Structure 1
Amino acid sequence: MSGSLKDQLLNIGLVDKKKAKQADTEKRKQKKQANKARKSGQSVVDERAVKQQALEQQRQEKQARDRELNKQRDEERRNREIEAQCRQMITQQQLTLPADAEVAYNFVYEKKVKTLYVTDKLQAQLIRGQVAIAVLEDKFYLIPDKFAEKIEQRLPEYVIRVQPEEEPDEDDPYADYKIPDDLMW
């Protein structure tokens, strides 16, 4: 097959003579405008180049949006994984509270005083900071301190820390009078 693309398309029957003539006229007009613009010193505006540039810009904007969406999805997935790990640690490492626990242990959660019934031994561990309170779906669990630290690094809102007792000042006149931790009013 020899000849121009236009001739080949006409022979096959994909294009009729009217459309081929119209394309030739359009091509001549563009050449004429380009020649006029060059002679007068104006820059030549190629419509195809402008369209191509606009398409390229749209493609880049779409890629940027897609990257941002992927970043958000990855962040959400990472947060869900961290939350699942914390939930698993709490459920696996929780200390069982005996049914006969009679000592009321009061602590603050969301600006409200909550009560948890524990044994004397667990109360002492809570006061010393060896055991911490974990919150999961508005239920309270006792977990060892080392696991509480791991959870606290990932999601601090899941752990309620009880501050260990501080040593009193040497000049404190009431140092000999300790306030009991289980003081009821």
Structure 2
Amino acid sequence: MRNPLQEQLLKAGLAKKGKVDQIARDQAKQRQGKPAAAEAVEKIDTQRLQAERAERDRALAAERNAQAHAREIAAQVRQIIEANKVKREGEISYRFTDGDKMQSVLVNEALRTQLAKGALVIVRLGDGYELVPRIAAEKIRERDVTAIVLDHGRKTESAPASEDDEFYSQFKVPDDLIW
């Protein structure tokens, strides 16, 4: 079945029947989905764009998950510190280093002794510092090592001992030395 325009062109003698049939066959082939080369290239471009979008979305999702995990860890550490912090009281200033700065907390004699022996650990909470027992410090260490500021009870891996270290090891320095 031809369209009305084709019929009019045939009656007027402006088109030949063979030419109209050829155009009708070409249109039918296009409708049935025989894609041309340009359509294949366009399809490849859209697939590539979809793959790039999917990759970018995966990267953004991974970044969001990492940030959420970091916030969750920080919340766990904060909760452990709040639940286990030791009440600080006293007038003795206990000094320690946090990075390259000297800090101090006020403690009494009993707390200072526990800090020196390693029974208590100093941890960072926001802008301040808190004292927590060793058990709580181990839980914190599992989640975030950087939250622990001072831990005398933990053995640190140091460089091999030099001759000077061996010589000075015979002179013991007391743990409760106030400086």
After TM superposition, is the score higher than 0.5? yes
TM-score (norm 1): 0.67
Which of residues 28, 38, 54 is equivalent to 1:47? Answer: 38
Percent identical: 25
8 A Cα contact 2:121 2:152, kept in partner? no
Structure 2 residue 131 is the aligned partner of structure 1 residue 128: no
Which of residues 57, 63, 74 is equivalent to 2:65? Answer: 74
Moved over 4 A (4+): 169-173
8 A Cα contact 1:128 1:165, kept in partner? no
Question: Which ranges in structure 1 are unaligned for 5 or more consecutive residues?
Answer: 8-20, 32-44
Q: Following TM superposition, by how much is the alpha carbon of 1:171 offset from its aligned partner in structure 2, in angstroms? A: 9.0
Aligned-partner Cα distance in 1 for 2:65–2:97: 35
Taking a change above 3 Å as real, the CA distance of residues 55 and 88 of structure 1, as seen in their structure-2 partners, is same
Q: Following TM superposition, by how much is the alpha carbon of 1:59 offset from its aligned partner in structure 2, in angstroms? A: 0.8
What is the letter of the counterpart of residue 111 of structure 2?
L
What is the letter of the counterpart of residue 91 of structure 1?
E
Aligned-partner Cα distance in 1 for 2:134–2:116: 12
Structure 2 residue 174 is the aligned partner of structure 1 residue 183: no
TM-score (norm 2): 0.69
Q: How many residues align?
A: 147
What is the letter of the counterpart of residue 65 of structure 1?
R
Taking a change above 3 Å as real, the CA distance of residues 172 and 71 of structure 1, as seen in their structure-2 partners, is closer
Q: List per-residue Cα deviations over 1:75-134 (Å, max 9, x = no partner).
A: 111111111111111111110112xx1222111112112121111111111111111011
Q: List per-residue Cα deviations over 1:161-185 (Å, max 9, x = no partner).
A: 233499xx7995534xx4463434x
